[in-house]
Amino acid sequence: MDFLPHDISTYAETYTSPESALLYQLNRNTRARVMAPRMLSGHIQGRFLSMISWMIRPRRILEIGTYTGYSALCLAEGLSDDGQLITIDQNEELEAFARSYWLESPLNSKIDFRIGVAATIIQTLDETFDLVFIDADKRNYSLYFDLIFDKVRSGGFILADNVLWSGKVVEPVKPADLDTIAVQAFNQKVQDDSRVENVLLPVRDGIMVVRKL
């Protein structure tokens, strides 16, 4: 995920608003206690997600891929007063960890955690979303996009994380590298979709920003 020189990354973080004390603790403890901490959104990306949410002031957010709950807290910051964020993850082992931090936040009541298979849960949701954040298993990105598209309002936004996949998307791909192939296919799918406008931002591991027309 380190595409920029270390000193440039450090400079960018220096001139980005800091994490709250709660997010800092969640960030640190995820890295210390949980496997695969690179899955955490972290400081720069977390502030980006918060900024987008504040810009949109969404009433309904859907997050696909919860992990330890950091990005959910960031996205929830910009919710409208009556807003709600639904976040989906199938790893029930991290539920207690995530909830322990949400409970310390005034945003806790706005977070609805659903445990299970995302593709199944999405089909049960009778909601219209202003903002969707896809950050789960890469091989199903295109499926998630299709499943949520009609549930996003016109003018609403879809964000997809890890769309540069540690730079592998521009390297020769081995046939067995199914994750990279899936990410490439997703990026091409969005690029070819006449129903959207999109921009791929090289923020951390790449974020695809999609606006539904």
Where residue 201 sits, what CATH number does that domain have?
A: 3.40.50.150
Q: Is 80 helix (H, G, I), strand (E, B) or coil?
A: coil
CA dihedral of 126, 197, 186, 168, whole degrees rounded to 10: -140
Q: What's the whole-model pTM score? A: 0.95
Query: How far apart, in whole angstroms, are the C-alpha atoms of residue 205 and residue 167?
Result: 8
Question: Do the domain assignments include residue 134?
Answer: yes
Question: Do the domain assignments include residue 149?
Answer: yes
- Tens of pLDDT along 71-92? 999 999 999 999 999 999 999 9
Q: In the structure, what pLDDT confidence band is assigned to residue 35 with cuts at 50, 70 and 90?
A: confident
pLDDT (average), residues 120-134 = 98
Query: How far apart, in whole angstroms, are the C-alpha atoms of residue 141 and residue 108?
Result: 27
- The number of CA neighbours under 13 Å toward the Cβ of 20 is 15
CA dihedral of 14, 16, 20, 26, whole degrees rounded to 10: -80
pLDDT attached to residue 65: 97
Over 70: is that where the pLDDT of 1 sits?
no
Q: pLDDT averaged over the chain?
A: 95
pLDDT attached to residue 5: 83
pLDDT attached to residue 72: 98
pLDDT attached to residue 4: 77
CA 136 vs CA 39, 83, 117, 157, 197: distances in Å: 9, 23, 11, 17, 22
Question: Do the domain assignments include residue 202?
Answer: yes
Question: Do the domain assignments include residue 171?
Answer: yes
Query: How far apart, in whole angstroms, are the C-alpha atoms of residue 120 and residue 69?
Result: 21
Over 80: is that where the pLDDT of 2 sits?
no
Highest-scoring range by mean pLDDT, 10-14, 129-133, 167-171: 129-133
Question: Do the domain assignments include residue 101?
Answer: yes
Q: Among 28-42, 88-102, 123-137, which is the least confidently predicted range?
A: 28-42
**Sequence-ordered list of residues with C-beta below 8 angstroms from that of 36, at least 6 positions apart, any chain:** none
Question: Do the domain assignments include residue 1?
Answer: no
The domain of 131 spans 6-212
Tokens 């949520």, residue? 148
- Tens of pLDDT along 187-199? 999 999 999 999 9
Question: Do the domain assignments include residue 89?
Answer: yes
pLDDT attached to residue 136: 96
Task: Say how many domains are in the chain.
Answer: 1
Tokens standing for 151? Answer: 């549930």
